[in-house]
Amino acid sequence: MVVHEQSSIKREEGITLKFLMEPSLQELAVSLQVLLNETWVASLDLVESINRAKIMRRENEIMYQFTRRALAWARKHYDTLAEANRRLPEENERLGDRIVIFEKDMEKLHRVIVGERADKLALEASLRKMDEEHKTVVANLTKSHEETMEKYKKETMQSLQEYSPDLKANFLLHAQIDGGLFDV
C-alpha cells in the first residue's frame, strides 16, 4: 500500500503538475487564434511577395522583349551602317577623281574665259577703230558729196546762164510768131 499510495501521490502530484503545466482550452483557443492571425498575416506577406515577384517577373519579361527588339533594330542598322561605311572609301575615291577632273575642266574654262576676255577687248578696240575709220570715211564722203553738189549747182547755174540768152531768143522768136508779127 505504501507503494500504491506513493504512486497515487505521484499521480496526483503529476496531474496537478500536469494540470498546472497544461493551459486551459480557452487559453489554447486564444493562442491558436493569435497563431492563426500571425499565419494569415504571414500568408498575406507571402502572397504580396509572390505578387511582387510576379510583377517584377512580368516587368523583366517586358524589358527583355523590348531589349531584344531594340537589339535586333540596332543590329539591322549596324549592318546597314557597316555596309555604307564599307562603300564610303570607294565612293570617296570616285568623288575625288571626279573633283580632279572637274578642277581640270574649270582651269580650262578659266583659260578660255581669260582668252575670250582678251579677244573681246581686242575686238572692241578693233570695232572702235573701224567705227572711227567709218565715221571718217562717211565724213569725207559727205564733204565730197557736198562739194560735188555745190560744183553741180554752180555748173548748172552757169549752164543755165549760158543757155539763158539762147532761151530768151527762142522765147522771143516763138512769142513773135504767136503774137502775129506777120499778121496784118
In a domain, 19, yes or no: no
In a domain, 134, yes or no: yes
Per-residue pLDDT of 145-157, as tens digits, reads 999 999 999 998 8
Quick one: how far is CA 7 from the chain centroid?
A: 113
Per-residue pLDDT of 59-75, as tens digits, reads 999 999 999 999 999 99
In a domain, 48, yes or no: yes
In a domain, 65, yes or no: yes
In a domain, 141, yes or no: yes
In a domain, 15, yes or no: no
Is pLDDT at 9 greater than 60 in this prediction?
Answer: no
Cell of 58: 512580368
Per-residue confidence (pLDDT) for residue 125, from 0 to 100: 92
Residues 6+ apart with CB under 8 A from 31: 23
In a domain, 159, yes or no: yes
Q: Give the confidence band of 32 by pLDDT, cuts at 50, 70, 90.
A: confident
Is pLDDT at 112 greater than 80 in this prediction?
Answer: yes
Quote the domain boundaries for residue 67: 28-175
Per-residue confidence (pLDDT) for residue 55, from 0 to 100: 92
What is the longest distance spanned by two Cα atoms in the chain?
Answer: 238
Per-residue confidence (pLDDT) for residue 184, from 0 to 100: 46
Report the length, in residues, of the chain: 184
**Cα 44 from Cα 24, distance rounded (Å):** 30
Domain tally for the chain? 1
In a domain, 181, yes or no: no
Is pLDDT at 106 greater than 60 in this prediction?
Answer: yes
> What integer best gives the mean pLDDT of the chain?
83
